[in-house]
Amino acid sequence: MARFILHLSIVVVVLFSVPTHCQKKNESEGVIFLEEYDTLAKELQNRAVIAGWNYQTNLTDENAKKQVELNLEVAKFAKEAATNASEYDWENFSNVTVKRLFSMITTLGTAALEDEEKLEQLNNLLSEMEEIYSTGQACEYDDPKTCLDLNPGLEDCMADSTDYNRLLFCWEGWRDAAGRRLGDLYSQFVELSNEAVRADGWNDTGEYWRSWYETADLQQQLETIYQDLQPLYQNLHAYVRRKLINTYGAEMVNAEGPIPAHLLGNMWAQTWGNIYNLVIPFPDKPSIDVTDEMVRQGYDALRMFNLSDEFFREMGQIPMPDSFWDRTMFVRPDDRDVVCHASAWDFYLDNDVRIKMCTKVNQEDLVTVHHEMGHIEYFLQYAHQPLPFREGANPGFHEAVGDLLALSVSTPAHLNKVGLLPELVDDPEVDINFLMQMALEKIAFLPFGYLIDQWRWRVFDGSTTKDKYNEEWWKLRTQYQGIVPPVPRNPDKDFDAGSKYHVPANTPYIRYFVSFVIQFQFHEAMCTLSGYTGDLHKCDASAGAMKDVAGSRLAEMLRMGKSQPWPEAFEVLTGDREMSAAAILQYFAPLIDWLEKQNENETLGWNNGWTPPYDCEGTGGFTCLDGSRCVRPADKCDGIQDCDDNSDEDPILCETPNDDSPRMTSSLVVVFLAVLASTVMTSRN
């Protein structure tokens, strides 16, 4: 999903040096140091982000090389800045802001790696993994010259098809194309990343990531919130499972088991909105999907972005600068490979902000556009801050702000206001349809958003070793999401975590779980401030009589950036200082009541031991001649023996004929090998 955003948060530093003295420098001198740091740091950050942008919008070896060079330059400067900052007695300074800046400058993360060759290797690994992910293709089993990119080909397949085996091809094909090629690289990355952060005083990379939240009991708080939300998820899961049984049959979807992961309309089963038509509560009532209306009105990507800009203007926020319209990548170019994953970019100088997105004209991307523009608005609001403070108050804030605004945009009231929903109907059943649509995006995502970094934290701390990567990945996915792989996974070859962009791109993911919780707290606060008094799920904060007050309070929070611990910024908008599931439960309250009634005879939860059946040859596989197992397409003829009798690597099976030579179909090869095996066995008897 485009929801998930890449932020280039690179620690940058300066080229000046501070002479060493026996006595550490004082606070006045420290302020001068920070001013010089900020000027030079922004210039370096700008060059680094430009290199990253050039690579992601034109995937060439030359651009990859330049990106690595800038990252190495950044790391070198970071070490110099940290060394220079240590010459100041900053821990005893009286000014809290100055102390906070020094603390952030002296925290290096992976830039602390002393061995420059290893640091270069670390950066090269990240570039290589991202390129593998961004250029992966799944090729048809019966026509290897016909291949599908992830976006749009495979994602459209997962979104649109209801053919069980076709969905299986798209699901498995992407994991073969991307995940399998990344496993060895990722284990090397983990080792180097841990070595780097240990040089900075952290036990492992996961501990370093969690430190960004400045919350000692972060994991306990998140677990409490997850437990509060689990009953809602289990009710949604049970309802959707029953509807999928109606579509695919009780043999393929078990009424008490986990759901096959390829049936939920999304490559990663992270959101389920694309199967809304299969699970809609009241199919005879209007649906809140304006895609057809957008097409009818001739919408294109630019018009979608202009509509979003108007929304921010209505809320009293900063308009997009002219350079944004000149430099943003609105659609996928035809002449080069790019990273299509939607992302918002801050270039740190001259109000240069951009979005990179392969926009399609549909409601999902309309919401994503507003989400990305929310990031841009955050960039613009805190642009006056010193560079270390030009981030969200915690990593979840940036994502929450984007989705906060999308919550208003998604309401029937707002879609009606902008002319995309011709008729606004006051009907409880229409409300349930709308809330189901939102739950398939928001509630379905929660366990996925929670588990990815649960897995990575265990990888980083060593409790999950390389040989257990895939096994532990699926244990967590079944435990939290109640899904199961549709075909057996190969523990020696599969690396399914790598099929999710944020893993090879090294983007921490718990931020999305945090954002999905606090965005509803933000939404509740914005609605109250705007003067709205109705049901929370119907609120469009941009339409309230006091929307200027709400917009002003939002801007006040955004302008703070990371200048203070996140509870301070949180309190500015919400009046609270703690994350809570209360607002999200209030938003979905009507749907919760409805689901509980629908599920009176359903099993909540799932039997972790159930796995779906599959047709080996019918899904491109190969049954070993001794009948011992099914070898999946990517394992056949890969040079590694999977069958005990080695029939999956038989030269006759694996021979690739010339274009003008007679071709033997896979089924005939199987028959031929079976006859051959029978002959050999007979002669031995």
Q: Which residues are annotated as a binding site?
A: 213, 371, 375, 399, 511
Contact 34, 101 (CB under 8 A): yes
Contacts of 566 by beta carbon, 8 Å cutoff, 6+ apart? 213, 214, 215, 393, 394, 397
Known binding residues for Zn(2+) are: 371, 375, 399
Known binding residues for chloride are: 213, 511
β-strand pairing of 259-260 with 483-484? parallel
Tokens 């090879």 -> residue: 504
Q: Hey, what amino acid is at 181?
A: R
First to last CA, the chain: 59
Tokens describing residue 436 = 């189901």
**Catalytic position from the list 128, 155, 364, 372:** 372
Q: How far is CA 567 from CA 7, 157, 518, 560, in A?
A: 22, 42, 12, 12
Q: How far apart are CA 40 and CA 52, in angstroms?
A: 19
φ, ψ dihedrals at 353, nearest 5°: -135, 145
In terms of Cβ atoms closer than 10 Å to its own Cβ (0-12, 13-18, 19+), residue 350 is exposed
Q: How many CB atoms lie within 10 A of CB 339?
A: 24
Contact 108, 48 (CB under 8 A): no
DSSP state letter for 88: B
502 catalytic, yes or no?
A: yes
Q: What angle do CA 164, 166, 167 make, to 5 degrees?
A: 65
Q: How many CB atoms lie within 10 A of CB 21?
A: 8
**Catalytic position from the list 502, 523, 537, 649:** 502
Q: Hey, what amino acid is at 89?
A: D
Tokens describing residue 637 = 């003829």
Active-site annotation, residues: 372, 502
